[in-house]
Amino acid sequence: MTKSEKVAFVISTLQNLYPEIPIPLDHKDPYTLLIAVLLSAQSTDVRVNQITPLLFAKADNPYDMVTLSIEEIRDIIKPVGLSPMKSKGIWGLSKMLIEEHNGEVPKDLEALEKFPAVGHKTASVVVSQAFGIPAFPVDTHIHRLMYRWGLSNGKNVVQTEKDAKRLFPKALWNDLHLQIIWYGREYSPARGWNIDKDIITRTIGRKSILKNK
């Protein structure tokens, strides 16, 4: 199979499996999505979705968020982990939104990356899922699968993102990054991986990986 044939197989398989693609993190607007994505770092979407209703009941916009203290935010979000850094980030970015963006989340990737506790992946998720701007945020699932499928060398997420953007049509980026995440969770996890259920890796995966299985 050529690389272009592999890409076509991935796209068609994922479109068949996930014709409608749910967004993993519960939110109602760009601001609540930004906060939810920030909270999801080194945590699970399930845990974040349990905590955000508690936080958003007190503050679901930057103006209300800055009326809370960092300590109050930290107490609420503690179960998701990394609460000292995340609480400072949430309060700090809310203040910046008010002072520099009239309380509105910007659509610009570089502007988002200037906020505290907001990295490239978080910013990419927001522009993709909140504004429909083509982006390809790479999480652990995408990084793992792109390597298993022989579509990236697996050195780092930066290279994986470049490879994904080079190989997949730009018009499909926003759908594909979510479809690959769901596929990784359901069919190609890091632990408890069953190659018999993983049709994509079984069909196009690296020979070294298939031999080890």
Catalytic entry in 139, 162, 165, 175: 139
Catalytic entry in 6, 121, 163, 198: 121
**Cα–Cα distance between 14 and 9 in angstroms, integer?**
8
**Cα–Cα distance between 72 and 19 in angstroms, integer?**
41
Please report how the helices 30-39 and 45-58 are oriented relative to each other, as an axis angle in degrees rounded to 10: 130
**How does DSSP assign 125-149, residue by residue?**
HHHHHHH--------HHHHHHHHHT
> Hunting for tokens 């988002």 — which residue is that?
112
Task: Confirm whether 163 is a catalytic residue.
Answer: no
DSSP 79: G
Task: Confirm whether 121 is a catalytic residue.
Answer: yes
Q: b/e string for 61-90 if b means 16 or more Cβ within 10 A?
A: ebeebbebeeebbbebbeebebbeebbebb
List the catalytic residues: 121, 139
